[in-house]
Copies of this chain bind each other. A is one copy, B any other.
Amino acid sequence: MIMEIFFDIDDTLFPSSEFSALARKNAINAIISMGLKNDYDSLYNKLLQIIEEKGSNYGMHFDDLLEDSDNPPRYIAAAVAAYHDTKASIAPYPDVPLTLLELKKEHGIHIATNGNSIKQWDKLIRLGISLYFDQVFISEDLGVQKSPDFFARALKTLGSKPERCIMVGDREDKDILPAKEAGLITIKVRKGRFRDDESCADYEIHEISEIPAIVKNL
Contact = CB atoms under 8 A, between A and B. Distances in A.
Contact of A78 (B35, B76, B125): B125
A35, A84, A125 — which one has the most chain B CB atoms within 10 A of its CB? Answer: A125
A213 interface: no
A49 interface: no
Contact of A125 (B81, B88, B126): B81
A78 B34 contact: no
A159 B126 CA distance: 48
Contacts of A73: 117-118, 120-121, 138, 140-141
A131 to B, nearest CB: 7
Interface string A108-151: 00000000011111101110001100001010110000000000
B131 A80 contact: no
A131 B34 contact: yes
A1 B125 CA distance: 54
A122 B77 contact: yes
Nearest to A119: B77
A85 interface: yes
21 contacts: A34-B125, A34-B131, A73-B120, A73-B138, A73-B140, A73-B141, A74-B121, A76-B118, A76-B121, A77-B118, A77-B119, A77-B121, A77-B124, A77-B125, A78-B125, A78-B130, A80-B122, A81-B125, A84-B88, A85-B88, A88-B88
